[in-house]
Amino acid sequence: MTAPRLRITSSTAILSDAVRAAQMSTLSFGRTFTDHMVTIPYRDGAWQQGEVKAYGPLSLDPAASVLHYGQAIFEGFKAFAQPDGGVKTFRPEANAERFNRSARRLAMPDLPPDLFMEAADALIKLDQAWVPKNIGESLYLRPLMIATDPFLGVRPSHEYLFVLFASPAGAYFPQGVKPVTVWISEDYVRAAPGGTGEAKCAGNYAASLVAQAQAQEKGCDQVVWLDAVERRYIEEMGGMNLFFVYQEDGKTVVVTPELTGTLLPGITRRSLLDLARDLGYEASERKLTVQQWRDDIASGRMTEVFACGTAAVITPVGVAKANGFELSINNGQNGPVTMALRDALLAIQHGTTADRHNWMHAI
Ligand SMILES: *Cc1c(COP(=O)(O)O)cnc(C)c1O
């Protein structure tokens, strides 16, 4: 008999129902963690037996190459309580696939997608009591991989650690959905052609923080990234993809910047392109310049703008600012197309409508 790929050891410090309930009554995002986590080491050219065990600190050699040269990637997806009492994850296979695309870009080993899925299912099953029940709430899953080789030479590490843990997440907008104000950055870029913009790697976020701080100094919530070469084309907002809504000859058209290699291919983005068509809108991926954004707001053709990603689902954009101009979008209010798409996605995730695209994975 071969050993199981994951050895399960229950935590000896599982929180009592009362303590867990107290923690879950005041959920924000990313501060509370469940009882268990998964770790799978990679060495000698292969993934070794992994463990599902008590959540806790990792031990790393100070020479571990991730601490120096930054081979680190991550993912994010969610599990949702279903009306029948079960739990389902949203498109985890897509995250497993993107995880491997990120791994390849950083010269890291692939993790078999079925092992990624097995790890997630095992963790969620063990920590099922941590899946929040209310609409808008979820269990956020955070897979990551780091280079652990204790070696100071610059080359791909020979040893890695896959880690997966989970965090119950409250409604991203506890006071209700509210549009954000964005700063269109001309001073900083997120990703350049040939770079790592398509990969979900830690370094992309490290490099974005100073731009985010500048956006806040300008009185904005988030930064909007432009292409690195011409600084004209709109790419993304912070860690989210962007959508622009048009009303043209009685038709509703939703447009998102096309994937050029410098945008992160969001799974929410991809899902919303399908849902938009389900709702009877036209959906297209194309390049969009800042000048076009200004012109289309001025002419009234562009009626709404929103950002999307796993964590916040959909965030309306109410104001866009840059050096020398400011755009007001839909009078700074939530728009009807934005909210219809948001409701449609949440209904599938929470199992209150048919999952016609087979996006949900039962645990
Ligand atoms: C993760 C991420 C997104 C959104 O991707 P989803 O799969 O929808 O969560 C968008 N942009 C960046 C830069 C990201 O890192």
Provide the 10 A C-beta neighbour count for residue 280: 9
CA–centroid distance, 23 to ligand 1, in Å, is 27
- Predicted pLDDT of residue 89: 98
Smallest CA separation from ligand 1 atom 10, residue: 240
Q: What are phi and psi of 89, to 5 degrees?
A: -100, 155
Ligand 1 pocket list (CB less than 6 A): 76, 200, 236, 239-241, 264, 266-269, 309-310
CA–centroid distance, 310 to ligand 1, in Å, is 7
- Predicted pLDDT of residue 3: 79
CA–centroid distance, 307 to ligand 1, in Å, is 10
- Predicted pLDDT of residue 4: 87
- Predicted pLDDT of residue 242: 98
Which regions of the chain are under pLDDT 70? 1
Q: What is the mean pLDDT of the chain?
A: 96
- Burial (Cβ within 10 Å: 0-12, 13-18, ≥19) of residue 354: exposed
Ligand 1 nearest atom to the CA of residue 75, by list position? 1
* Cβ pair 182, 223 in contact under 8 A: yes
For the domain spanning 180-349, the CATH number is 3.20.10.10
Domain boundaries, the chain: 6-169, 180-349
- Predicted pLDDT of residue 114: 97
- Predicted pLDDT of residue 1: 57
Distance CA 354, CA 352 (A): 7
Smallest CA separation from ligand 1 atom 3, residue: 240
- Residue type at 38 in one-letter notation: V
Q: Give the closest residue to 108 by CA, choosing from 146, 59, 82.
A: 146
Ligand 1 pocket test, pick from 89, 97, 236, 240 with the greatest ligand atom count within 8 Å of Cβ, gives: 240
DSSP states of 112-175:
-HHHHHHHHHHHHHHTGGGS--STT-EEEEEEEEEE--B--SSS--S-EEEEEEEEEE--SSTT
**Fold agreement between 6-169 and 180-349:** no
Helix (H) or strand (E) holding 26: none
pLDDT digits (tens, 9 = 90+) for 60-104: 999 999 999 999 999 999 999 999 999 999 999 999 999 999 999
CA–centroid distance, 267 to ligand 1, in Å, is 7
CA–centroid distance, 264 to ligand 1, in Å, is 6
Distance CA 20, CA 25 (A): 9
Ligand 1 nearest atom to the CA of residue 310, by list position? 9
* Cβ pair 320, 329 in contact under 8 A: yes
Third-level CATH fold of 6-169 = D-amino Acid Aminotransferase; Chain A, domain 1 (3.30.470)
* Cβ pair 127, 166 in contact under 8 A: yes
